[in-house]
Amino acid sequence: MAAVAVTAGSKVLNNVEAVRETLYEALKTDDRVIILGEDVGARGNVFLITKDFVNEFGAQRIIDTPIAEASIVGIAIGMAMEGLRPIAEIQFADFIYPAFNQIVGEAAKTRYRSNGEYTCPLVIRTPYGGGVRGALSHSVSIEALFYHVPGLKIVAPAFPADVKGLLNAAIDDPDPVLFLEHKKTYRLIKGEVPEGHYTIPIGKANVVKTGAQLTVVSYGLYVHWALEAARTLESEGVSVEVIDLRSIRPMDKTTILNSVEKTRKLLIIHEDNKFGGIGAEISAMVAENALFALDAPIRRLCGPDVPAMGYAEPLEHEFMSSPAQMADAMRELVKF
Amino acid sequence: MPQLGETVTEGTVAQWLKKVGDPVEKYEAFLEVSTDKVNAEVPSPVTGIIKEVLVKEGDTVPVGTAIAVIDEVGAASSTAPESAASPPATTAAMANSVQEDPVPGFNIPQLEPKGQGNGHARTENVVPSSYGAPGGLEPEADAVAQDALRKASPAVRKLAREHHIDIRTLRGTGSNGRVTADDVLTAARMGPAAAVGQAIAVGTNFAAAPPPTAAPAAQPASGTSTYADPIPGTLVPLTQARRIIAERMVESIRTAPHAWTMTSIDVTNVWKWRAREKDRFERETGYKLTLLPFFIRAVVESLAAFPLMNSKFTAEGIYVNKDVNIGIAIGLPATLVVPVIRGADKLSIKGLAIAAGELIDKARRGKLGADDLAGGTFTVNNNGANGSWASAPIINAGQAGIVTMETVEKKLLVRDDDSFAPRYAMNSCLSLDHRVVDGYVASGWLADLKKRLERMTPDGAL
Amino acid sequence: MAKTDTKAKSLDRRGLSDDQLRQMLRNMLLQRQLDNRGFQLNRQGKVPFALGSEGHEALQAGAAMAFARGKDILAPYYRDLGLALGVGLTPYEIMLSIFARAADHNGGRQFPNHYNSKSLGLMSFSSILAAHIPHAVGAAYSVVYRGETGRAVLVTCGDGTTSEGEWHESMNFASVHKLPLVMLVENNEWAISTPLDKQMAQPEIWKRAAGYGMPGKRFNGFDPIETYATVNEALERARSGGGPTLLEGMCYRFLAHSTDDNDMTYRTRDEVSEHRKNDPVPLFETALLEAGVVSEADIAMLKKEVLRETNEATDKAEAMPFPAPSDLYANLYEGAWQPWQ
């Protein structure tokens, strides 16, 4: 469960409801907020996230754009430069590549190239990740392509309470934020979400399970499966600590290092391809800062280095890591 | 319940288009399902007759739940449960397992002690700093030792340096005999830091140079301080099991407000019954017959009458377990294990006795596996052998209560007609999670348990 | 001094006053002077890079005259020195960027000629062709969203940029939403070494407007008055809710693309000198002289002033400090953010 104190009231939402509710509240309270993307208006987004928003807020604020990802982001940048708070949606992360120029070359650099005279308070939301039989073009993870870029912020919450808190933080943020939503967790993951407006700071991870013998770092859907694997190990008497990164750029150094100092062993689990994935950066940081705490090599359990998971079930299954595989990896490292 | 969309996890039976007894053709629509994305008619997977409808109209169930049984025409007494339109096994499994939290339990396997004391005749030696030539090592031992040094992890090197331990002299408990950080720490605890500059007698693996003389600190000359054999003035190293027991206990106390109650039970009839059966039982099964299976039998019946006692507190609600898996706490020399009798409500007293006997035997031999320890929903703690009269046990985290059997005493009891009679009396104590049950339910349950035990007659079948 | 005689009346001034005509000439002269100064400094070894805009003076002076200072928004590209000057950027600010000084609007981070000024409504842009055009569209959208009538966005680019996908996506969106936008293509017939006929099959860019359902017009970009009238019409249309317009101003790039380009590798001196006959600066001087709007003395005075201004700006900017090495890390985000927090 997210470590968010339940205040006045709270209710149970799944991740897609959490996104929807947060967007709704933002539209209601801040006139500067605009949502633009493909099928966000009349259709209400292909996951129904913005269903009926256009009826309440009007087509001028909920814009059904042409099919043109580069300009969805580019036009949003222009809006942001002129003081609005646009939330651009890329319908599936797999479609984001045409917008790469605008995200990396423009949004990330607006404040920097103008030495602060112009800024880009932009949110780009997109569903990513697999496990829904989405095949090669509806299943990819993209964080590794973008987390390299100074000037961007990237978050990938796994729990509904974090979805709301981080989306609010992204909308409030004066700089461009890439908000990643794992599509398989949309309806699968339910959790308590506090009422009212709150933000969770970008750049803070969350220890979702404390433990003594191994640190597991993950994000997105795999946090939930890692938790399941960790619980299995607990019933075997093995104590595993699980950290939900929540934030990919910036990433939480302190939480990870504190944990590794305690457990001396680190397993990074992510769905994205292994080579050059964010596990590589975490490994380097830990090796740089906590080498003498390590009692075993750092291990990464990641997606295979193929472009994406295939449509056929055995191919998707092979690409993705199961809780049982995660448990095996945990056991192995604990035994080292 | 089929999965009608990529991210759909549950479905509602909107309308049954067929009823029990109706014939249905393969591919013919026989019910309508609605999810938050679509409404759909579901085609039948087989041709046959609707035998059973398992989910009512308007009810919502997770993907993969059985919703109907169709007797396939032509197949003899076939039960082809209409299960999901095969969602990926992982998906359905994920849906179920994430939504319904598996009970973590308070389950400590009896681990093979990793050379951390625990009664093993193992000696560590602590040789002051210097990674220089150890001097006097046998060539083979020397090679092994050098290898240990070379393969030492950064943590091991650092800890060894800090504690002035030569890792070449340690026996490793990690994979392939690797010296682990814990091994170094254990060795460090054997002698406090004041032992720097002092050599200890050599262990079994290496022939070492004679120790230099130095003022001895308060230090055992040889042997280890263990849980089974603790030496005053020393640290008993924590085994994995002990560390985890400590964590579990703290977690349980911290999360569940413990309340406590007790009762006294007249177990004379049960005692007599057991006496009648025990020889035959032992002969037939090889296991001892104690009061435990009788007690568990009554416990599961009481749990059936008071389902809240077989539940678990979660933030979303009190999860009432369907299964009744009774953990039996078994104390062993240095640790505590709680193996689980799964489906205890389905076993007879004899069945319970055999199951318990098997688990106890496994526990004593250190052969309990993960399956034996997982999934407990309620726990019974038999304190009888200890001679205790009352105890306040700590609940297994994730359960609603834990009940004890205290020692059986022969007592003079006053009956209703004011006559005296020597009877066998046994106290039973209940620790309960006050988030889940209040005194009313808890004492009701305990009273029910007492009644059932007192109602048992010595002439029943086991 | 204006003379009211028959010659003066023969100039079709399209509603512009004498002062405004003189202002345009001044702008053109200043642009040419500052342009040259960049190359001079480069040849002196003082700055590593210069990029000229000779040939665009009339186009940019005319467009600037139509631009509503303090109201409209400008989204230019890197060859718009004249436009930047015309909307209020000073020679000093221009020189700061040429010298890459800390006080430059961009802190010396961008190439020269990447103007921006929030107070003037001059949007920041990068060196990436067409990337700024969706930004202009977004800016126009925000104008409509805020109900700011009487306000328009003027976005410019070269002929080569119209091949970029983002140019098309921007035109498409602007036309769907009838945004207050004027897309002014400064067609100087060259995209570095690529002539028009290699860049597009239909050499008349203005004709694409039909494909977007918006009005389009081509005009003589060597004529500042015609430029003014055309751009003004389009801006007025935009400001009053009439939607976007595609304008194509024809001119010519007299110089190479930049100091890193040798244009003799892809065109001939003769071709360039042939086009030089249309050099708008001397042509407008002559036109105004003949119309009696200025005298020879006026022009000489103007050139002297412009040179003085340029020299002052040069000296003042050159004396300013470079950014400090530690300035590299500033203004990446609001507040200090490390990749590992």
Q: Which residues make Cβ contacts (< 8 Å) with residue C52, sequence separation at least 6?
A: C35, C36, C38, C39, C254, C255, C256, C258
Q: Are residues B22 and B90 in the same domain?
A: yes
Evaluated on CA atoms B50, B52, B57, B58, the torsion sign reads: negative
Q: What is the pLDDT of residue C9?
A: 54
**Residue B316 and residue A192: Cβ atoms within 8 Å?**
yes
Q: List the one residue out of C136, C128, C79 whose CA is nearest residue C258.
A: C79
Residues of C in contact with A254 (CB under 8 A): 341
Domain boundary among B211, B237, B263: B237
C259 DSSP β-pair partners:
none
- Residue ranges per domain, chain A? 10-194, 206-335
Domain boundary among B79, B99, B119: B99
DSSP code of C117? Answer: B
Q: Of the listed C43, C69, C266, C308, which one is catalytic? A: C266
Q: Are residues B231 and B254 in the same domain?
A: no
What is the mean predicted confidence (pLDDT) over C57-63? 98
> Is position B211 within any domain?
yes
Q: What is the pLDDT of residue B20?
A: 94
> Is position B130 within any domain?
no
> Is position B188 within any domain?
yes
pLDDT average per 10 residues of sequence, chain A (336 residues): 57 97 98 98 96 97 97 98 98 97 98 98 98 94 98 98 98 98 97 96 98 97 98 96 98 97 97 98 98 96 96 95 98 95
Q: Are both A10-194 and A206-335 of the same fold?
A: yes
Q: What is the pLDDT of residue B38?
A: 59
Q: What is the pLDDT of residues C17-44, one digit of tens each?
A: 999 999 999 999 999 999 999 999 988 8
SS3 state of residue C73 = strand
d(CA B373, CA B111): 12
- Whether the pLDDT of residue B388 is over 70: the answer is yes
Q: Are residues B229 and B310 in the same domain?
A: no
Residue C148 near residue C211, CB atoms below 8 Å:
no
Q: What is the pLDDT of residues C97-129, one digit of tens each?
A: 999 999 999 999 999 999 899 999 999 999 999
* pTM of this prediction exceeds 0.80: no
Pick the residue from chain B with its C-alpha nearest to A211.
B247
Evaluated on CA atoms B249, B252, B257, B259, the torsion sign reads: negative
Q: Are residues B199 and B248 in the same domain?
A: no
Q: What is the pLDDT of residues B137-166, one digit of tens each?
A: 455 666 767 777 777 899 999 999 998 888
**Residue A133 and residue B88: Cβ atoms within 8 Å?**
yes
What is the mean predicted confidence (pLDDT) over B173-193? 82
The runs of H, that is alpha helices, within B375-438 are: none
What is the mean predicted confidence (pLDDT) over B375-388? 90
Q: Are residues B422 and B306 in the same domain?
A: yes
Q: What is the pLDDT of residue B36?
A: 64
- Whether the pLDDT of residue C263 is over 50: the answer is yes
Q: Are residues B259 and B357 in the same domain?
A: yes
Q: What is the pLDDT of residues B6-20, one digit of tens each?
A: 567 888 898 999 999
Q: What is the pLDDT of residues B223-236, one digit of tens each?
A: 567 887 888 888 88
> Is position B209 within any domain?
yes
Please report where in the chains the tokens 């292909």 appear, as a residue: A46
What is the mean predicted confidence (pLDDT) over C80-108? 97
Q: What is the pLDDT of residue B316?
A: 87
Q: What is the pLDDT of residue C260?
A: 82
Q: What is the pLDDT of residue B74?
A: 61
Q: List the one residue out of B48, B108, B113, B117 whose CA is nearest residue B78.
A: B48
Q: Of the listed B36, B147, B361, B438, which one is catalytic? A: B438
- Specify the range with the lowest mean pLDDT, choosing from B175-189, B397-411, C66-80: B175-189
Pick the residue from chain A with its C-alpha nearest to B376.
A235
Q: Is A138 a catalytic residue?
A: yes
- Specify the range with the lowest mean pLDDT, choosing from B154-158, B331-335, C201-205: B331-335
Q: Are residues B218 and B250 in the same domain?
A: no
> Is position B125 within any domain?
no
Q: Which residues make Cβ contacts (< 8 Å) with residue A331, sequence separation at least 6?
A: A233, A236, A238
- Whether the pLDDT of residue C239 is over 90: the answer is yes
What is the mean predicted confidence (pLDDT) over C71-85? 97
- Looking up residue B218, the CATH number of its domain turns out to be 4.10.320.10
- Whether the pLDDT of residue B376 is over 60: the answer is yes
What order do you get walking across the sheet with B48-53 strand by strand? B23-24, B48-53, B68-72, B80-82
C151, C169, C171: best mutation site toward chain A, by most A Cβ within 10 Å? C169
String of b and e for B371-403 (b: at least 16 CB within 10 Å)? ebbbbbbbbbbbbbeeeeeebebbbbbbbbbbb
Q: Is C114 a catalytic residue?
A: no
Higher pLDDT, B290 or B334: B290
Q: What homologous superfamily is domain A10-194 in, according to CATH?
A: Thiamin diphosphate (ThDP)-binding fold, Pyr/PP domains (3.40.50.970)
Q: What is the pLDDT of residue B6?
A: 58
Question: What's the structural domain count of chain B?
Answer: 3
Has domain A206-335 been given CATH number 3.40.50.920? Answer: yes
- Looking up residue B374, the CATH number of its domain turns out to be 3.30.559.10
**Residue C124 and residue A113: Cβ atoms within 8 Å?**
yes
Residue C148 near residue C179, CB atoms below 8 Å:
no
Residues of A in contact with B243 (CB under 8 A): 212, 239
> Is position B449 within any domain?
yes
The reply to whether B86 touches chain A by the CB within 8 Å rule is: no
Pick the residue from chain B with its C-alpha nearest to A293.
B155
SS3 state of residue B117 = coil
SS3 state of residue C159 = coil
- Whether the pLDDT of residue B120 is over 70: the answer is no
- Looking up residue B70, the CATH number of its domain turns out to be 2.40.50.100
> Is position B2 within any domain?
no
What does the mean pLDDT of chain B come to? 77
Q: Is B434 a catalytic residue?
A: yes
Q: Are residues B295 and B150 in the same domain?
A: no
Q: Mind telling me how many Å the CA of B309 is from chain A's nearest CA? A: 22
- Whether the pLDDT of residue C1 is over 60: the answer is no
Tokens standing for C82? 């004249």
Q: What is the pLDDT of residue B79?
A: 41
Q: What is the pLDDT of residues C264-284, one digit of tens each?
A: 889 999 999 999 999 999 999
Cα B50 to Cα B2, B20, B47, C335: the distances in Å are 17, 5, 9, 67
DSSP code of B179? Answer: P
- Write the DSSP assignment of A231-273 as a string of letters: HHHHHTT--EEEEE--EEESB-HHHHHHHHHHH--EEEEEEEE
Domain that holds residue B48: 10-99
- Whether the pLDDT of residue C7 is over 60: the answer is no
Q: Of the listed A138, A182, A224, A270, which one is catalytic? A: A138
Pick the residue from chain A with its C-alpha nearest to B338.
A235
A/B interface, count of CB pairs below 8 Å: 99
Task: Judge B/A contact: 3 or more CB pairs < 8 A.
Answer: yes
Q: Are residues B44 and B86 in the same domain?
A: yes
- Write the DSSP assignment of B292-323 as a string of letters: HHHHHHHHHHHHHH-GGGGEEEETTEEEE-SS
Q: What is the pLDDT of residues B49-93, one digit of tens each?
A: 999 999 999 999 998 889 999 998 865 444 444 443 443 333 333
Q: What is the pLDDT of residue B237?
A: 82
A/C interface, count of CB pairs below 8 Å: 156
Q: Are residues B311 and B434 in the same domain?
A: yes
Give all domains of chain C, ordered by start, each with its CATH number.
Answer: 19-317 (3.40.50.970)
Q: What is the pLDDT of residue A252?
A: 98
pLDDT band per the 50, 70, 90 thresholds, residue B395: very high
- Could you tell me whether strands B326-331 and B258-266 are parallel, antiparallel, or unpaired per DSSP bridges? unpaired
What is the mean predicted confidence (pLDDT) over B387-400? 93
Q: Are residues B210 and B91 in the same domain?
A: no
Q: Are residues B265 and B328 in the same domain?
A: yes
The verdict on whether omega for the bond into residue A250 sits within 30 degrees of 0, i.e. cis, is yes
